[in-house]
A = this chain, B = another copy of it.
Amino acid sequence: MTKPAYVAVDWGTSSFRLWLIGSDGSVLAERRSGEGMTTAAKVGFASVLAGHRQAVSAPETLPVIVCGMAGARQGWVEAGYLDVPAALSAIPAAAVRVPDAVSDIRILPGLAQRDPARPDVIRGEETQLLGALDALSDGNGLVCMPGTHSKWVHIRDGAVTRFSTFMTGELFDAIGKHTILSHSIQDAGPFDGESEAFRQAVTECIRNPGAASNLLFTARSGVLLHGLSATDAKARISGILIGLEIAGALDGAEPGASVTLVASGALGALYESALEAAGAAPTIVDADAAVRSGLAVAARALWDL
């Protein structure tokens, strides 16, 4: 039987994921919970981690590699930022050790872009990038990482040269819940990247991004005047916001630019459809696999595994 070698943790704002990894790199056990930074800051990071380690019977002495918001100022131990341009291979050595812990627990740093015109920060996605690096030809490319705060990252020779955060997921949530559009979508059913209303909204907003907050209103007026369905109204709002993001992220890029899409599940499928509608040719990398792979690269760099 494979012996456990280390514990890998992706500790986000609202989610916690832990894997027990064997000496051959295989996943021996997995845990997922809602004990993200927000919860853990109240109940204690050490106790949340200890509970999940016990649940998978991980030996107490096993080293632990952590990425994400556990390293934020409001997190467990602040892990700071590497300033871009930053070689992804420099990330593991910049990990911060949790003091007075039972075993060797290291939290990986984020990335900071201090350009006064476009200040930006990443925390967690740098580890996905480290894991997705093999998927980039010659360590070069443009990477799209959709989510609550989507990240678009330019990588050259294995180093992050610049990146941009788009608040797409959070805007979708705030607009759908806290504006007049909430009435138009309250009976909406599920939709996906095949939705014509979604794809049309993506292309409309890419063609005319300045009209974004007007296009959003047409999700309401389309219901009032043309019987647009609640599901199509919701797909339209999503398409407008994702289209706005793609318009900004691909501004200045070649038509048919190659984009590596690091994503999973329904959101990944939605972005794949939107990028195709935008004329980009996405290569897909699974986000869950990427973060595990990035944590593995860091663990191997830090410890003799």
Residues in chain A within 8 A of chain B (CB atoms): 112-114, 116, 118-121, 149, 164-168, 170-171, 173-175, 177-181, 206, 208-214, 216-218, 221-222, 224-226, 241, 244-245, 247-249, 251
Which chain B residues lie closer than 8 Å to A209 at the CB level?
209-210, 212
Which chain B residues lie closer than 8 Å to A166 at the CB level?
213-214, 217
- The answer to whether residues A226 and B179 also contact, given A149-B217, A208-B251, A216-B167 and a CB cut-off of 8 A, is no
Q: How far is the CA of A53 from the CA of B141 in the complex (A)?
A: 69
Which chain B residues lie closer than 8 Å to A149 at the CB level?
180, 217
Interface of A is mostly: helix
- The answer to whether residues A121 and B171 also contact, given A165-B217, A211-B248 and a CB cut-off of 8 A, is no
Copies in the complex: 2
- The answer to whether residues A179 and B167 also contact, given A149-B217, A213-B248 and a CB cut-off of 8 A, is yes
Q: How far is the CA of A167 from the CA of B174 in the complex (A)?
A: 13
Asked whether A165 lies within 8 Å of B210 as measured between CB atoms, the reply is no
In the complex, besides A119-B222, A119-B226, 8 extra interface pairs with C-beta distance below 8 angstroms are A120-B218, A120-B221, A164-B214, A208-B251, A209-B212, A210-B251, A212-B212, A214-B248
Asked whether A121 lies within 8 Å of B167 as measured between CB atoms, the reply is no
